[in-house]
Structure 1
């Protein structure tokens, strides 16, 4: 068991490390859409995400690169990220030429690496000015703000990154909890029991241990566990690829996640979870058509899977396709009639559709199901105010304040 865990920890590469190891890139890759470009060739300023020092772009290949901004950017990576030199001149040259997103990310990562946090923040701020819709740069600046205890800035960037792509919520939450891992694991009896077993774990035990690691934010250990199980198994289990891929997704290692979901589907084309998770990768890449196709495939496999309707409705809503979103939320309510949360989701959409009576009815139902969730009263108060019911609105606000004070 201990051998498997150590072996698995070695599997934690960044997307970039895998690409460099396999030499699977061409010059045109560096003109991909920015979300895909950053996913393939960069990583967040987290120490465990840095590739090994031996990972670099070969000098012979760089000599063939025609675009000077790309060549300067990748040379800058070799000098300052893979190596121990100073890449600032190279990366600033690339930024001056084309404002290349990778050049900003590598420069920020270099400053993070040498603990020049003010310069890292300034670099990520400049990147945000150029790429206002890229959650990667907000998340990167958030992580550096945390290092200097700039809580207000970190919280602001966290909120923006989460709004732009909820996967960044997961990785930022994981990073924030890393200091507590030892305590979380020490208090977890399942982890203590299964880690101490002298024999090979069964499939059920692997799944249980992996789940407990996830609960404790030990994502790297869980990835190691699943990687070892995959490597040691003669008959590959599609579930293991889904489990590992879901963790790569949480860590915004999108290319590794995509590879795992593709492998899961190749092993079992009826694995609905693999399509749902792969759709979320496509959403992060803003490849919305592929995401919708995967959600449709998951729906075909399991028409009673509420997660399909919730995720697709959220995507439709972000795309402004409110009527399609409403159909999915209606289906979600049918599948989960006792879940207050689904009514609150539909209520919010009804408000956007200017169906205020519908929003009021849904918030009221949500409150019936969960009368102790204070925010629901605040939301309903706003609807009642719009409907010309100031007395009802005041009663809801009073209840909101009462619950908040408890």
Structure 2
């Protein structure tokens, strides 16, 4: 093991003036062999930012790297004390969420949730997409929290951090159990996903939507299947996501499209095409978010650009920084989602004009909270009165 903590600080902190030479240094020294990470999004697996030391695998002359196993999906059980996470961010439209899983097998290279794996002593890179945590107790915890005296109903957002319908949901079925709890309690829910697996739960969602309690947003980043495969390797294809929007709409479930994230000089030319396709599939609402590169996400994304689109690297990053005050990312409320500057303004106006032409609203269906029935069953402490 080499003590590379001083290298780690230089290589894995987003830099204001980072250029292609800097990114190449990161990539050449720490990129994981392609065979070991086949089917994954990230090319790097740096230690978390809270770790004292940074480790890098290197060939010592004995071909030892060839013996390292490929990254396989591992799932551990997490035992949280609560199911509902509260937030007071002024620039998002919900104040609570539920996350059935930590980490995400979809492997989207741009995922802003990647840095959360550092709190587990793991990497925001390949660990985030291969070492996952499932929360099988989440449905019971949620039922208990909804039953607490004085609980005030607000729409619960699911999928705002990691995808609740990522591949491991087929086996664990935690999301379906959560929906069963919410349906029984007549509690409103808003879901965001990149997976066509959401159609599995149409039976529950249809029942909830009929009471004004559910809506679903499908994130469609690109219509280019090749780009989607490299950028979101284990998410549903763009065609499958559009088909999911159609299936949800035909079942009477309000469906929206999220053009997120918009990446300048990579997928921003597709804004109108994506909106056209989503409208044709039945979407009634639309929104977008500009590419966000917080903390460890920046070097991961820059390395990915070098691997797959080296000829666009300088142009993409120059435009990103032009919308982030010269930095890779600006976390200021009100700016982090949409950016600032002429190019960000242009994207906003294009999106506004396209949605207006297509009749896609930003705040369409308002979910109801007046039908709520506090749970009174398994896992809930009954009243003594």
Structure showing greater radius of gyration is 1
Asked if these proteins are the same fold (TM beyond 0.5), I'd say: no
Higher fraction of strand: 2
Higher fraction of helix: 1
Higher relative contact order (CA 8 A, sep 6+): 2
